[in-house]
Structure 1
């Protein structure tokens, strides 16, 4: 039997198997996302004289639609306030009114625990997402927190005209709506987007093809990535035409999609060390991304999500540009869409890859057949 006949038989058998599989195992019907009201709970924490927090037990649960006092300005007591939806759990700390954990429910970390995008960093200059930077130092003041109809407001004021008001809300998705108003606190207001992004294991850090904790700045005209090991000291980028900025790695991103207020982005490199498996001390730099406003206003969305093509393309705003397909970007995107379309029918990635391979072979069959015939003629000569 000739090679051409074998290939043709393989194509026919694959088509038959695909047809039978589609009949026996039809594609699952799309499931509608159940709308769940945003849940807000609080956990009491005390702050000792050194500023170290001791977390307590869950104190109250505020049902959406009610108003509750969750903290006290200058009272020395801090609270952990939690918001959640179907894909995220976010914990705020009223000391600094910042995010101390942002968990993606669908994903696990290297230890098998729910994935927290807030990286553990031991450094005096480390910041948490949405934490203000006052006179060059992370803000550690205790804010008053009030929840009304799913809208969480953090307020600090000294009674002398200086105040900071942060308002956040969470919808059904990976976005956190953020609005910050600063009055009387310096000529420029600085809000940090955090220090690094998620904890990584030694295997991932040793993978030269993987990236983690890098910074990105995307404007309407350009996209600039800043690798941890290549940033020297501090980098300042003008915020003109800023679309979003923050952190990204191979699999996830956490960026602030600015609507107004950002005049500048500052990326700082913090030097850390760790001991590797051989007992040697190695450098482990992390980046801190701050956004600066000359008007005292910040407004936008903190978007923290997996790098899934369909998700980022649906969100638009240039988020899909964080996916790195290399020089074959158009071809890779095309085949990715075809692969996902096939997966929608078979419900199995393995079969989707097999069927895509068969389809490519069928498309190339005329060219392959012509090449084989030409080669045989050359052999006879």
Structure 2
């Protein structure tokens, strides 16, 4: 047990060092919302092969369709981890996203199983909730073994060892809530737009999600081993429809994030634009949501980078953590800036009335009427 704990602490330290180095050298194109699109597998790694279809080819076609659509938006910059049939290491994919200081990382794959399993599922990072999720993550992570000197590059991470997954969720906890938000948009679109069977949003320990320091999802667009689904995903029509659902989900996510975080009329990021005058909204409480996690943490300052006045709320299987508690909108804006300065770059202001969450703009508009 002691040896396992020592291994975990050493690995965490190495990961933190890697993250800090990457963060210091990254530079994002000013004013752009950066989306990194990752087509799974490639080159000598064909991925799943079901009914004669190659995962690497289907994933690349879907990703390029998504990119072509997103690039029509002048506010979005698209970066591909690969745009042709080449092999890219998992660490190379993560490095591309981190160096770009991306706002989103979306990895596209196709599933396989030795049964009649079918349907889509979108994963966010987390400890495997069940054996099947562990097996899926293990299968995707085993591409590590195709790399030379993988022991050196992955600091002893073993895709076949459950203990290796313990550390995977720790570094991505700050981004979990937004990752889940995007994943739900994607799965909802598959179901509503394309009438596909959705297996839901799930958590598993994918290495490539763990080492990207932004909201990240891995999309399994369907099972190539299920004859009808494999044929659909291998068709131009199927690829176009699946890419549309993912594209629309990204655009909806960005719109929602802009609205919540501060790029619209009511949420202002600039300290110079904030007023010091109190703006009290009766019967409304504002908080800054700083994190969401499957882990139960004590709302103490030492767990949240020195922030005081942290509260916790359980929502489903996750815990949401908030900074601040005030009816003064001017005050919560200052708290929002402070939380971002502490490293919670994806935090956002939320509003509650009578204990129920409401839209921030609704709270502000109701106060002006």
**TM-score (ref. length: structure 2):** 0.27
Of structures 1 and 2, the larger Rg is shown by 1
TM-score (norm 1): 0.26
More strand by share: 1
